Amino acid sequence: MPNKKPKVLMIEEDRFLRKIYRDKLSRLSFDFLEATNGEEGLNKVIYEKPDVVILDLMLPKKNGFDVLIDIRSNKNTQNIPVIILSNLGQESDIKRALDLGATSYLVKTDISLSGVVDKVKEQVAKNR
């Protein structure tokens, strides 16, 4: 059976940002899924079981911290790596996200597109 494409779910309100990541990750043979708010994102995590989730914290309907809590408290999704990609760069936010079980925490202004892609690849490789 051929290896299926690794699935990446990006939960991000910003359409432009989603498009950039969709273009880049699709070219690298990832199956790219997206959600624009926390509720939709959580539903996709549960039903699609992506290999990696890229999660923003500032989201409509359900913020990223709550989404992360729900992912970690569901036995079917608790082991999915979650990379936080947020504008919130305060130590307290970073600590809270990591304490809640985020795999890594990236601040949008501090990391390049390829830096995020490398993190995604690293997580997929670890879990294959």
Domains of the chain, by residue range, sit at 7-127
Q: What is the pLDDT of residue 3?
A: 63
Between CA 88 and CA 117 the distance in angstroms is 19
Q: Does residue 46 have a pLDDT over 60?
A: yes
**pTM, entire model:** 0.95
Between CA 37 and CA 113 the distance in angstroms is 21
When the pLDDT of each residue in the chain is averaged and rounded to a whole number, the result is: 94
Alpha carbon distances (Å) from 39 to 44, 52, 77: 9, 17, 15
Give yes or no for a contact between 105 and 97, defined as CB atoms under 8 angstroms apart.
yes
Q: Which CATH architecture has domain 7-127?
A: 3-Layer(aba) Sandwich (3.40)
β-bridge pairing 31-35 and 7-11: parallel
Between CA 78 and CA 121 the distance in angstroms is 19
What is the per-residue pLDDT across 52-99, written as a single tens digit (0 to 9) for each?
999 999 999 999 999 999 999 999 999 999 999 999 999 999 999 999
Q: What is the pLDDT of residue 56?
A: 97
Give yes or no for a contact between 30 and 8, defined as CB atoms under 8 angstroms apart.
yes
Q: Does residue 1 have a pLDDT over 60?
A: no
Q: What is the pLDDT of residue 127?
A: 79
